[in-house]
Amino acid sequence: MTLRYDAGELITAMVTPFDKDRAVDYKSVEKVSKHLLEQKTDAIIVAGTTGESPTLTHEEEQEILFCVKSTVSGACKVIMGAGSNSTETAVAASKKAQELGADAILSVVPYYNKPSQQGMIEHFGSIAKSVDIPIILYNIPGRTGVDMTPSTIAFLAKEYDNIVALKQSNPNLDLISEIRMLIPDDFAIYSGDDSLTLPMLSLGAHGVVSVASHVIGVEIKSMIRNFKSGQIAAAANMHKILYPLFKKIFMAPNPTPIKALLSKLDVIENYVRRPLIELDEKDRLELLECLKKIQERTEEK
């Protein structure tokens, strides 16, 4: 079955680099973009939660999109985080993303105001009718305070051809089975949590929207390819190797840990915008040691 839209198996939710004044560091945006291509990412999401979207201005988001698209020059897809808890704002952001050449948009369930399921249907329906580019739904009840149900996801998938995929950040794996049973075969599911990638693949997910792929993208891609080619034991073994880092990069609010690790690797400077605070040196070294152990184990294979 051909997907209605294939963003690839490994999508990276990209960090937004800042300088010491916590202004967007566009030279480092270019550097991270090139680094992610080396990590074998199939698509980059800009201005998502990992990109600290709550603290970015709309102008910054648009400039970051332009910068990433110019840097990757078609080597991977570029997806714009265009969600909002205001339907009017989400529609405007989605239209702007299409105007600026985004390959697709990621649209989160409205947060804080906790809409009903019918409210979600009307929210995403308004977005879908306003643009032609593909829309990836983003369900993350831990941040939004409300969960989009399988039946709502299925309705949207069937009603709107340009609603093409779901990023599911809910650890209840029964929901993946329920969603998969209800949605069309050409609608893609992505794990929204690195540690759940392999379990979700076994239940019919297509890939992952990853944070860890900033530093172990090649290994994650290998795990996915091994699973899909029937090398289940190899995929399971890679999962076990990578699992410690999957968990450690959430030792503090995302993206604080992954930014700290990227700074240790000299990809970016270690700055986040308030109210987030930078990880201390002890934790940065702990993360680096975890990554080195993974690299040693994968080199042995």
Positions annotated as catalytic residues are 138, 167
Distance CA(113)–CA(133), nearest Å, equals 26
Residues 159/30, Cβ–Cβ less than 8 Å = no
Residues 104/79, Cβ–Cβ less than 8 Å = yes
Residues 112/146, Cβ–Cβ less than 8 Å = no
Tell me the sheet residues that pair with 209.
11
Residues 83/107, Cβ–Cβ less than 8 Å = yes
Distance CA(216)–CA(210), nearest Å, equals 10
Q: Quote the DSSP letter at residue 75.
A: S
Residues 41/217, Cβ–Cβ less than 8 Å = yes
Q: Name 271's Cβ contacts closer than 8 Å, sequence gap at least 6.
A: 17, 18, 19, 20, 22, 259, 278
Distance CA(244)–CA(294), nearest Å, equals 9
| Phi/psi of residue 177, nearest 5 degrees | -60, -45
Residues 260/284, Cβ–Cβ less than 8 Å = yes
Q: Tell me if residue 3 falls in helix, strand or coil.
A: coil
Residues 14/36, Cβ–Cβ less than 8 Å = yes
* Nearest one of 58, 160, 167 to 109, comparing CA atoms: 167
